Amino acid sequence: MVKIEIGKKQDFQEDTGTLIEKEGKQIAVFNKNGKLFAIDHVCLHRQGPLAEGYVDDDHIVTCPWHGWQYSIETGECLTSQGMKLNTYKVIEENEKVFLEL
């Protein structure tokens, strides 16, 4: 596991996703109600950009391309059963935000 700094808490705007590219991975970081979540950025359907998706109050992100849905808490795909994105631990320390990869 590697701990990588990805910015400050205020860099992640409420209710939107931010694409982070580190260690050869593309990760979508979402700020939902002040809490940060990180999942793979690339949709399992046809590689749509999940960081640009809408997150609802149930912590479900909808892919902007064809509407596949995923939990930003577990990475589980709600549209195609059994499919799952990787999730990543987000660590907040002294205003800084880190991902554990």
Please tell me whether residue 75 binds ligand FES under the rule CB under 6 A.
no
Residue number of the CB atom closest to ligand FES? 48
Question: Judged by CB under 6 A, does residue 65 bind ligand FES?
Answer: yes
Judge whether 50 and 70 are in contact, CB under 8 Å.
Answer: yes
* Under rule CB under 6 A, residue 19 binds ligand FES: no
Decide: 79 and 69 in contact? Cβ < 8 Å.
yes
Measured CA to CA in angstroms, residue 91 lies from 55, 73, 100 at distances of 21, 14, 8
Q: Which residues, listed in sequence order, are joined to residue 76 by a DSSP beta bridge? A: 84
Q: How far is the CB of 39 from ligand FES (least distance, A)?
A: 13
3-state secondary structure of 11: helix
- For 75, phi then psi, to 5°, come to 80, -5
Region from 7-15, 29-37, 58-66, 88-96 binding ligand FES, contact rule CB under 6 A: 58-66
Q: 74 vs 92, which CB is nearer to ligand FES?
A: 74
Residues that bind ligand FES (CB under 6 A): 43, 45-48, 63, 65-68
